[in-house]
Chains A and B, each alone.
Chain A
């Protein structure tokens, strides 16, 4: 989240990618760094360690939403 906020502050398109378990922490951190609206995309939890096949599927499904956020076609947090 902090990296996303740094990019956003620099005027660069940024999306913070967090898993479901970290949604509240992400909001908390975004608030803490003074960028409560940093776009974020939420992935299932856990992602790590779920195998290459599942990770590829998660990435395929997430990519369009993340790109939409980066292009500003979707506002705010994508659930």
Chain B
């Protein structure tokens, strides 16, 4: 295989790791040293020339080889790579405005949502209990691989290429699958025109997730309305960019119980989104005390946190129960949710890596 990356020498892995830290090639955590053999093994599962350019991130061209190197560093297995490649393709979509996201002072970053058979074949990518937390290798490694690409290809270094004033832990890694089996709605990626048996990533640039608690009760005929109001309230919190500036796509992650209550009330995914867009508002009278960047002419009117349904990506994930989540948006509306198909064809055993 013809790899073009510059080779560096070190007497052993420990010394090599220190070199990676010294040169700021890591996210601050140890990485797997991307030896030539490991990068070749990573690429064995995808039939792509290493020098294919997926897109540009800031000053850097994201080639298949560079992405594979960062995937090795992040701890990915070869079967994860198709998801990482799709995620990189998606972030380089101009609609995502990655350069603006890299340089904003807002602590936002991309969230990778995986739909379709790739959830299992390229994973398993968790969608259930703790899907956004630690303990899931594919979720952790795939999200981290994208972040390392943003740093090592896109130059996002704190205080230089990445101007997040504070940042947030989700910028280390943030990847989950939708719980399609536990969802009463069609898979999220079908909203973008994919067939359910196709695989795709959806990327949304957002802030950290905000927990939304709502204890439902099967005897409560208004449970679905309560869920909608509480989720909408979490979208329109005082400190969210959506409230202060009034735009930017958000992600709503409904746990299967909350989603089931809404579906049992006859609501489709589109209905839920439409209701949330209408409910995620703040009275002007309240806004006067909260914000300075928006105009409030009519005291009796409401300011919306979302521009319309296109500003809301709704998925079902997490353990069933009381907790859903909202990721706030940002970038003054210049970023939009993007998606890309995941291409994989693991017809034979992948050489160079021990079995999972």
Contacts and interface: CB of A to CB of B under 8 A. Distances in A.
Contacts, number: 23
Nearest to A32: B59
B58 A32 contact: yes
B53 to A, nearest CB: 16
A25 interface: yes
B155 A32 contact: yes
Contacts of B155: 28, 32
Contact of B58 (A21, A22, A24, A28): A28
B99 A22 contact: no
Contacts of B159: 21, 24
A31 B59 CA distance: 7
A5 B92 CA distance: 20
Contact of B99 (A21, A24, A31, A32): A32
A22 B165 CA distance: 11
A2 B99 contact: yes
Contact of B161 (A2, A21, A25): A25
A27 B155 CA distance: 12
Interface in B54-109: 58-59, 99, 103
Highest count of chain A CB atoms <10 Å: which of B103, B155, B159 = B103
B174 to A, nearest CB: 23
Highest count of chain B CB atoms <10 Å: which of A2, A31, A32 = A32
A25 B99 contact: no
In terms of DSSP, what is the predominant structure of the interface of chain B? loop
A29 B163 CA distance: 12
A25 B59 contact: no
Contacts of A21: 159, 163
B138 to A, nearest CB: 31
A25 B58 contact: no
A21 B104 CA distance: 12
A28 B99 contact: no
Contacts of A22: 163
Interface in B166-188: none
Nearest to B163: A25
A25 B99 CA distance: 11
Contacts of B59: 28, 31-32
A32 B99 CA distance: 10
Interface in B134-173: 155, 159-161, 163
Contacts of A32: 58-59, 99, 155
Nearest to B159: A24
Contacts of B99: 2, 29, 32
A29 B159 CA distance: 13
Interface in A1-43: 2, 21-22, 24-25, 28-29, 31-32
A43 to B, nearest CB: 15
Interface string A34-78: 000000000000000000000000000000000000000000000
Interface in B253-271: none
A30 to B, nearest CB: 10
Interface string B190-233: 00000000000000000000000000000000000000000000
Contacts of A29: 58, 99, 103
A47 to B, nearest CB: 13
Nearest to B160: A24
7 contacts: A24-B160, A28-B58, A28-B59, A29-B58, A29-B103, A31-B59, A32-B99
Given A24-B159, A29-B103, A32-B58, 18 more contacts: A21-B159, A21-B163, A22-B163, A24-B160, A25-B103, A25-B160, A25-B161, A25-B163, A28-B58, A28-B155, A28-B160, A28-B161, A29-B58, A29-B99, A31-B59, A32-B59, A32-B99, A32-B155
> Which 8 A-B pairs have CB atoms at the shortest separation, nearest pair first?
A32-B59, A32-B58, A24-B160, A28-B161, A25-B163, A25-B103, A31-B59, A28-B160
